[in-house]
Amino acid sequence: MLKSLFRLSSSLILGLAAAAAQAGSGEDELRRFIGDTRTVTAQFSQVQINDRGEKLASSSGQMVLSRPGRFRWSYMLPYEQLIVCDGEKIWMYDPDLSQVTVRPAADTLTGTPAALLAQRSTLTEEFTVSDLGKRNQAQGVLLKPRNIDGDFEAVEMWLHQGAPERMVFRDRLGNRTEVAFTDVKVNAKVDESQLHFTPPKNTEVVESSATTAPAGPPSKP
């Protein structure tokens, strides 16, 4: 369950953090994010849809980002799950199982959109970027990974007045994950304690050295 949850998390973090962008070309907006954004907080709601257009699952929660490379992705509904990256390790906590899986942040994020956040990668080295124009006052940006071995095919980001309104992740099997953001705040002070994780008492800690990178937003079963 946590493996599925984590596979898509890092990509979503990148998109949400693009809240700092201003109107302009897609590449300009992302470059501005890399240069200007320090923190982002937001509420999110997420829906997974298969290649036949059928709704598979929905979830919602809260997100906190602090550059460089730290974030908290917290599911509240339909049940609790938590992902915390403290800059060195990524903690994936399942309270129902009383288990947390720990991975090295640098190895896990390499080659993913989150590398733009965690490692300050050059935008054009990782993706091709194109402008999707405007829809309902929001500016659309399309990212396609240069690495064709990844699980996702493209990511749409729709932004309005410097804040993300919606994202759509499309995988190579025709499935998509749609994410809507509300109450987005950019460069506000965040609680540092939210960007660290201490396993609760009696929690099983599973250390993993796997370097397989996640490919899109978090996925709930």
Tell me the residue length of the chain.
221
Between 123 and 5, name the one with better pLDDT: 123
The lowest-confidence range among 16-20, 55-59, 76-80, 203-207 is: 16-20
The CATH class of 2-207 is mainly beta
Question: Given this model, what pLDDT does residue 158 score?
Answer: 80
Write out pLDDT tens, residues 109-136: 554 444 444 445 555 677 787 888 878 8
Q: What is the 3-state secondary structure (H, E, C) of the chain?
A: CHHHHHHCHHHHHHHHHHHHCCCCCHHHHHHHHHHHCCEEEEEEEEEEECCCCCEEEEEEEEEEEECCCEEEEEEEECCCEEEEECCCEEEEEECCCCEEEEEEHHHHHCCCCHHHHHCCCCHHHHEEEEEEEEECCEEEEEEEECCCCCCEEEEEEEEECCEEEEEEEEECCCCEEEEEEEEEEECCCCCHHHHCCCCCCCCEEEECCCCCCCCCCCCCC
Model pTM? 0.74
Which pLDDT belongs to residue 47?
93
CA 153 to chain centre: 15
**pLDDT higher for 194 or 108?**
194
* Predicted confidence (pLDDT) at residue 8 exceeds the cutoff of 70: no
pLDDT at residue 108, rounded to an integer: 61
Q: In this predicted structure, what is the pLDDT of residue 56?
A: 93
Confidence of residue 19 (pLDDT cuts 50, 70, 90): very low
Query: What pLDDT shows up at residue 10?
Result: 56
